[in-house]
Structure 1
Amino acid sequence: MTSDTIQIASDALTATIAPLGAEMQSLRTSAGADLLWHGDPTWWSGRAPILFPIVGKAADDRIAVGAHEAEMRQHGFARRSTFALESRSDTACRHLLQDSDETRALYPFAFEIAVTHALASATLSVSVEITNRDSRPMPFGFGFHPAFVWPLPGAESRPHEIRLDNGAEPAIARLRDGLLPPERLPSPFTAGQLTLDPAQFEADAMIFPEGAGRGLTYGVLGGPELAFAFDNLPNLALWQPPGAPFLCVEPWHGMAAAHGATTQIADRPFSLSLPPQETARFGYSLTARL
């Protein structure tokens, strides 16, 4: 952590947020137990990156907006950009990223991204506002990529599961060469319930393009759990390097490029087109029940 990392706290949780990517670096209970993955690069150096202006990969790491083409690495550039601290209190902080010469070389738009982290007792809320400051419609995808410890504190050696609030059995997509194929596979959920197993991630992330709903619970039935609610995030991915001591719960509005599609961001599944001077809002909350 650097000296400009921000700490916020409630009676039940403490979080730290770094200016690089406006990325949460830790989330701990009042007893000092970690809920967020700590970023050990042996497994994965990320913790909770924010994905913009694409989610997932582009073919050959190339994207286009109209006639403008550029290289863009997986999940976009926001996670590698330094945000400015706009405001802070004991329980919340807001970071801001605005376009620059560097971002416009990759993505030719004037924009603003505001990221707010807030704590209220045992609930963390992360909200994002993306504003198009340009004179043209702005295509983009957006997503969250937080990683939470597996097992949760107090739930060692107990099976963990995902329970969808809507009780659905959404079809699964498996990336091929990092891109989204047209095929959908049978759901691993039964009546909204999925018992987690590292073997499920040997074929990379489990991606649910449609139907996972607006909320889920991760944890142990009758034991420690994290309850999530999503705002304007219709897609879901679950991911870990097989056997890693964390699980990524990733709500998105956007997907990896489809096989055989153009390099245009606007052609990516679930991309948005934001009119000039308008703002799109996204967010998630989690409540720790430990």
Structure 2
Amino acid sequence: MSIITLSNSIIIAQIKTLGAELCSLKDNTKRDYIWEGNPAFWGKHSPVLFPIVGTLKNNVFYHNDTEYTLSRHGFARDMEFQLVEKTDNSATFSLQSNSETLKNYPFKFELQIQYILIGTTLELTYRVINKDNTDIPFSIGAHPAFALPSNFEEYSLVFEEVEPLEYTLLENDLVSKQTEKIKTNSNTVPLTYELFERDALIFKTLKSNSLTIVEKENPILKVRFEDFPNLGIWTKVGAPFICIEPWFGYSDTTENTGNLFEKEGIIVLKTDTTFQAKFSIEIL
């Protein structure tokens, strides 16, 4: 594993070749907006979730009468990517299917992750290329954790739109039929650990295309995710970070059949075609 550094005159980003994982994003004040990855709380920074988001029922799926095992959030985050293109302010990483991935996910693909610095913004683009002779099913998502060095309850999230903030609850890591609404009369949600006592908040149908993190009434960071239909928000109770997670798809439902092609939220990509989606992180 190595660490690739990107910079312009305003911000610096660092990305690990392991998982093509963003591990640092600093401005000229040297403040790092990405969680340090302290394993006492959570040992990741910003993993990519592929070829699934969340958890499969019993961690398995079936294809052509064969059972396959995929662990939570898939394998991409734990694999070494190849750096295929690099400039001062951009880098593109690639992961290709191989004999190891085919044991757990029997489809041929290439996953590219591109990082570009534009002013005070880091733009991330995901590309999935179907290299198989059949359709391939997948989910993909981001999991960036943003460091909150002050008291957790001194932060709030501001949604782009004023809307009913209805989220779906997890049940034993699977998506349940139970939903709840965040109690607010505006688009601002003060952060409390109580919100996350039952794990992540899963939003399936937000109108908002961005979220802003506010620290002591000062906006510090904006995440834009207009390409992504689903969003997760998560922290561990007691941890000094918040994850804002743009997703295509989410965990299996409790009624899931084990057929990836029938999975709620799944993308089915035709042969010789490319899927692309991007999101961005802006330091304010």
Q: What TM-score do the two structures reach when normalised by structure 2?
A: 0.95
Partner of 1:82: 80
Residues matched between the structures, number: 284
Q: Which residue of 2 aligns with 1:187?
A: 182
Structure-2 change in CA distance of 1:141 and 1:206 (3 Å) = same
Equivalent position of 2:140 in the other structure = 142
CA contact (8 A) 1:178 1:256 kept: yes
Q: Given the alignment of the two structures, is residue 173 of structure 1 paired with residue 168 of structure 2, yes or no?
A: yes
Gaps of 5+ in 2: none
What's 1:285 paired with?
A: 280
* Residues 1:88 and 1:170: Cα distance change in structure 2 (over 3 Å): same
Q: Deviations over 1:148-177 (max 9, x none)?
A: 0114xxx66772111111222231111000
Partner Cα separation in structure 2 for residue 52 and residue 106 of structure 1:
12
Match of 1:46 among 39, 44, 47: 44
SS at match of 2:58: helix
Q: Give runs of ≥4 in structure 1 deviating > 6 Å.
A: none
Q: What is the CA–CA distance in structure 2 between the aligned matches of 1:246 and 1:85, rounded to whole Å? A: 28
Does the C-alpha gap of structure 1 residues 188 and 132 become closer, same or farther in structure 2, counting only changes over 3 Å? farther
1:213 equivalent in structure 2 = 208
1:272 matched to 2:248: no
Q: Distance in 1 between matches of 2:82 and 2:24?
A: 19
What is the percent sequence identity of the aligned residues? 29
Name the CA shift for 1:278/1:199 in 2 (closer, same or farther; >3 Å): same
Show the counterpart of 1:33: 31
1:12 aligns with 2:13: no
Provide the rounded CA distance (Å) in 2 between the counterparts of 1:65 and 1:9.
44
The corresponding residue for 1:263 is 258
Query: Does residue 109 of structure 2 align to residue 111 of structure 1?
Result: yes
Partner of 2:248: 253
Return 39-48 or 66-75, whichever deviates more.
66-75
Aligned partners of 1:157 and 1:44: how far apart in 2? 16
RMSD value, Cα: 1.6
Cα distance, 1:231 vs structure 2: 3.9
Give the C-alpha shift of residue 199 in structure 1.
Answer: 1.6
Cα deviation for residue 213 of structure 1 reads 2.7
- TM-score in terms of structure 1 length: 0.93
Determine if contact 2:153/2:191 at 8 Å carries over to the other structure. no
C-alpha change, 1:186 and 1:66, in structure 2 (3 Å) is farther
Deviation, 1:66, is 3.9
